[in-house]
């Protein structure tokens, strides 16, 4: 493999990570606010189908993207209403929505199967594109990939460096304290859930208008991506930078699966495509195992020098969810 093909391959990894990133960032802000959006797998499909259908009918990419984001926001709104206002289990409603949206996308998308319409093209950034190696890697992509870079930074700055971001952390960690300090917890949860849903919708429509162009019903290859994004959100420990790292790692693994295919003729391609999942379970295990109580007890039994090293490693990997994740808030 020459350096050029390697760079093109890696640039492809960055581009195909963009939709996963949108979904993960969306889920991250939603969960930061205390709401698990489990509808992601279905929302991505429905937004992909809806955005594609609108872009084919209107001939406009712009309206395609807007539609995808509106669909994502609306599904999240149903979830927010059911869980925040009606106090039903977020997991239950989210799971039902994921099933409904998936089947709805197959049902309504039937007439649009295999059609073609406008497609997002790439646009190299002047000057930056000529930087050796990095130019070809980072700056000869399409708009959405650039937006995905920006998205990581914006969400990170928002959560950690702004006042509203501080309140966002508060309503997910200690909603009662945030409320006492004047935050309208439930209204903010509504806003962040819908905003996160719109980002998840953007993820879907990024697939159908760019990364995996078109709508092919059950063989669109999008079923399952939402579940992956959900795992990456946890792997990312609700931190945008770490989440981005997870997205790129996942995208890289999938690409490696394709590249290594010729070297491993005995393994069917379908198996390599799911290769990231066992790794995902393992990483989840490493991320979470520090939270299990028996680990503390076992660690206490280990002699001093190695105990320090192990517990430091576990603490570095460890990620704890927002304390009020999934818990409804009542102001009285």
Partner 1 sequence: MLKNTRWANLLIQLAAVLMALLLTTLIMLAADAPPLEAYANIIKGSFGSLDRISKVLLSWIPLLLTTAGLLITFSTGLWNIGVEGQIVLGAIATTWVLRLFQDSAIAPGWIIFLSILAGMIGGAIWASLAGALKTFGGVNEIFGGLGLNFVATALTLWLIFGPWKRPGVGSMSGTQPFPEELWLPQIPDYDLSYWALGLAIASIVAVYFLLQGTYFGLRLKAVGKNFRAAHLLGIPTWQHMMAAFFLCGIFAGAAGAMQVTAVYHRLIPSISSGYGYLGLLVAMLVNYQAIWAAPVALFYAALNIGSIQLPIVLKMDSSLSGVLQGMLVLFVLMVEGIRQRYLRRT
Nearer to partner 1, 14 or 247 (CB): 247
With contacts defined by CB under 8 A, name the span among 66-74, 78-86, 128-136, 161-169 that binds partner 1: 78-86
Q: Nearer to partner 1 by C-beta: 28 or 82?
A: 82
Contact criterion met (CB below 8 Å) for 190 and 80: yes
99 binds partner 1 (CB under 8 A): yes
**Residue from 331, 322, 323, 318 nearest 288 by CA:** 318
Pair of tokens at residue 264:
């491993």
How many whole angstroms from its chain centre is CA 295?
A: 30
Which 258-297 residues touch partner 1, going by CB under 8 A? 266-268, 270-271, 274-275, 277-278, 280-281, 284-285, 288-292, 294
- The piece of 1-9, 69-77, 84-92, 200-208 that touches partner 1 (CB under 8 A) is 84-92
Length reported for the chain = 332
Distance CA 123, CA 138 (A): 11
Residue 298 lies near partner 1 (rule: CB under 8 A) = no
Q: Which residue has the tokens 């792997």?
A: 235
Which of 102, 175, 193, 324 touches partner 1 by CB under 8 A?
102
Rounded (10°) CA dihedral 180, 159, 144, 64 = 0
Interface with partner 1 by CB under 8 A: which range of 86-94, 160-168, 177-185, 305-313? 86-94
Q: How far apart are CA 269 and CA 271, in angstroms?
A: 5
Whichever of 15 and 84 has its CB closer to partner 1, that residue is: 84
Kindly state whether residue 118 participates in binding partner 1, applying the rule CB under 8 A.
no
195, 188 Cβ separation under 8 angstroms: no
Q: Is the CB of residue 296 less than 8 Å from the CB of residue 288?
A: no
Q: Which residues bind partner 1 (CB under 8 A)?
A: 38, 78, 81-82, 85-89, 91-93, 95-97, 99-100, 102-104, 106-108, 110-111, 217, 224, 227, 230-231, 234, 266-268, 270-271, 274-275, 277-278, 280-281, 284-285, 288-292, 294
């Amino acid at each position: 493999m020459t350096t050029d093909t390697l760079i093109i391959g890696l640039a492809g990894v960055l581009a195909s990570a963009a939709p996963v990133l949108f979904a993960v960032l969306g889920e991250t802000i939603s969960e930061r606010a205390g709401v698990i959006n489990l509808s992601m797998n279905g929302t991505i499909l429905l937004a992909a189908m809806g955005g594609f259908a609108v872009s084919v009918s209107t001939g406009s990419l712009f309206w395609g993207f807007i539609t995808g984001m509106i669909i994502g926001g609306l599904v999240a709104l149903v979830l927010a209403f059911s869980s925040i206002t009606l106090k039903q289990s977020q997991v239950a409603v989210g799971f039902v929505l994921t099933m409904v949206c998936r089947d709805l996308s197959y049902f309504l998308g039937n007439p649009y199967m295999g059609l073609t319409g406008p497609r997002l093209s790439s646009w190299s950034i002047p000057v930056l594109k000529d930087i050796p190696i990095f130019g070809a890697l980072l700056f000869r992509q399409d708009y959405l990939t650039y937006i995905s870079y920006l998205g990581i930074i914006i969400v990170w700055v928002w959560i950690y460096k702004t006042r509203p971001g501080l309140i966002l952390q508060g309503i997910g960690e200690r909603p009662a304290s945030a409320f006492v300090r004047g935050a309208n917890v439930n209204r903010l949860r509504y806003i962040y859930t819908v905003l996160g849903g719109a980002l998840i919708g953007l993820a879907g429509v990024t697939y159908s208008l760019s990364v995996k162009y078109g709508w092919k019903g059950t063989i669109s290859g999008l079923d399952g991506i939402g579940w992956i994004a959900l795992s990456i959100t946890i792997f990312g420990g609700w931190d945008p930078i770490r989440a981005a790292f997870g997205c790129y790692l996942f995208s890289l693994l999938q690409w490696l699966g394709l590249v290594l295919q010729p070297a491993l003729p005995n393994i069917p391609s379908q198996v390599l495509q799911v290769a990231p999942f066992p790794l995902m379970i393992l990483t989840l295990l490493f991320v979470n195992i520090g939270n299990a109580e028996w680990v503390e007890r076992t660690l206490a039994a280990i002699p001093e020098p190695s105990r320090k090293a192990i517990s430091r490693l576990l603490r570095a990997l460890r990620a704890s969810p927002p304390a009020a994740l999934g818990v409804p808030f009542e102001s009285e």
